């Protein structure tokens, strides 16, 4: 099974990787309910989106969605969101060193400022730097301890280490 690109959670100024949701995940809005359709770009991201959550004022928010859109230029920005588009280019060369192909990669982000989630349950997370971004550094580092954040109706009730 291919490892999935993880969703993230910001808590107390740090970013964590979400390992698991346990509880009422029906409160997380689907792409369709937000007004857009995603496609899977690879087996690493079946849903075609990466969610970025945050805890501010002890409340859980879905604040950013990175989406691989079906028809990106034609997809309208959802209500109550703003859109950011990141374009990256990769130049390929032939065997003689001449430019052969220029590929464009498009990343669409929908940013929300007030999308509170009334989630009840636990989120299991771990420090981001030990799983993604610097895999070579993770080999030498001690593995981070996973921890749980307990929510009731979107409010933090408890945070504790799992070991």
The per-residue pLDDT for range 33-74, each reduced to its tens digit, is 998 988 887 777 788 899 999 999 999 999 999 998 888 888
**Closest of 6, 49, 46, 3 to residue 29, by C-alpha:** 49
For 113-125, write each residue's pLDDT tens digit: 899 999 999 999 9
- Residue 27, CA distances (Å) to 23, 50, 133 in order: 10, 16, 29
pTM of the model: 0.82
Instruction: Copy the structure tokens of residue 92.
Output: 């390929």
pLDDT recorded at residue 104? 92
Nearest C-alpha neighbor of 107 from the set 38, 30, 6: 38
Structure tokens given for 73: 């230029």
pLDDT category of residue 130 using cuts at 50, 70 and 90: very low
């Amino acid at each position: 099974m291919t490892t999935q690109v993880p969703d993230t959670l910001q808590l107390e100024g740090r970013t964590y990787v979400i390992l698991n949701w346990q509880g009422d995940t029906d409160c997380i809005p689907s792409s369709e309910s937000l007004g857009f359709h995603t496609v899977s770009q690879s087996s690493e991201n079946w849903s075609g989106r990466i969610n970025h959550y945050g805890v501010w004022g002890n409340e859980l928010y879905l604040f950013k969605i990175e989406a691989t859109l079906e028809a990106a230029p034609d997809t309208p920005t959802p209500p109550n969101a703003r859109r950011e588009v990141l374009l990256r280019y990769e130049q390929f060369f032939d065997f003689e060193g001449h430019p052969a192909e220029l590929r464009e990669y498009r990343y669409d982000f929908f940013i929300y400022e007030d999308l509170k989630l009334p989630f009840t349950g636990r989120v299991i997370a771990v420090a981001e730097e030990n799983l993604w971004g610097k895999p070579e550094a993770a080999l030498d580092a001690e593995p981070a301890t996973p921890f749980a954040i307990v929510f009731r109706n979107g409010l933090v009730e408890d945070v504790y280490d799992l070991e």
